[in-house]
Chains A and B, each alone.
Chain A
């Protein structure tokens, strides 16, 4: 089991990547920034970065405006 943004639980699978999680969550890649267990994951590493079981995954959405 992994927890996304401290509230959404998702089933963990061996070899699960950040890209896999995005598909499960229905996320678009473009304006999201990802941290796994407090470590930043660059977008060009989503396809091969695996998520460990029990991971604390943060997917922060970046909105226009400032």
Chain B
């Protein structure tokens, strides 16, 4: 989207976040959130944070968009075959052209967490494999006890909305039912609910010291 001039650019920014919660926009614009994984959780989380006005996102993913991803992930037919992190970056820029994005096309390894996510205000775990969730939590809670990590655990299947919960202890927040497994299948609504629970927790954390 091209702006006609600087005045229009300013108007666009004001209008884009005109319906935001009062006082949140200027604070969120300064914040940086890391998102590990750009699949069903990560893509929906990133969109929610971009629409909310978070100014800086660091995205990490190695995978490409497949047709089978479109039942729950924030991608389109035209994205199939593209790298997820780059396709997502395009969608986020289409929402807010001023959002700052750092994109890493790679499979995240524990030894690289500090280099990639060391300066974020908080980290969001959005992997699909439970083993990966575990080592990310382990590394983060061991090395960054003062910084929040928000994880998704259990968002498979359909319905059973009441079982989706948020659990908080120390710097760890877990969203989901903690029991449903990917073998039950994954659907758009339930994955997006948990993704948006994670995003909502992130927004609350980012704003909590500025109320």
Contact = CB atoms under 8 A, between A and B. Distances in A.
Interface stretch (A13-21, A33-41, A46-54): A33-41
B126 to A, nearest CB: 6
Interface residues of B, number: 40
Nearest to A66: B128
Given A31-B131, A31-B134, A66 B126 contact: yes
Given A40-B145, A58-B169, A65 B181 contact: yes
Interface residues of A, number: 19
Given A31-B130, A35-B172, A58-B167, A63 B178 contact: yes
A30 to B, nearest CB: 8
A31 B134 CA distance: 7
B59 to A, nearest CB: 14
B142 A66 contact: no
Interface string B171-205: 11010111111110010000100000000000000
Contact of A60 (B39, B131, B167): B167
Interface of B: 37, 39-42, 126-131, 133-134, 137-138, 141-142, 145, 151-156, 167, 169-172, 174, 176-183, 186, 191
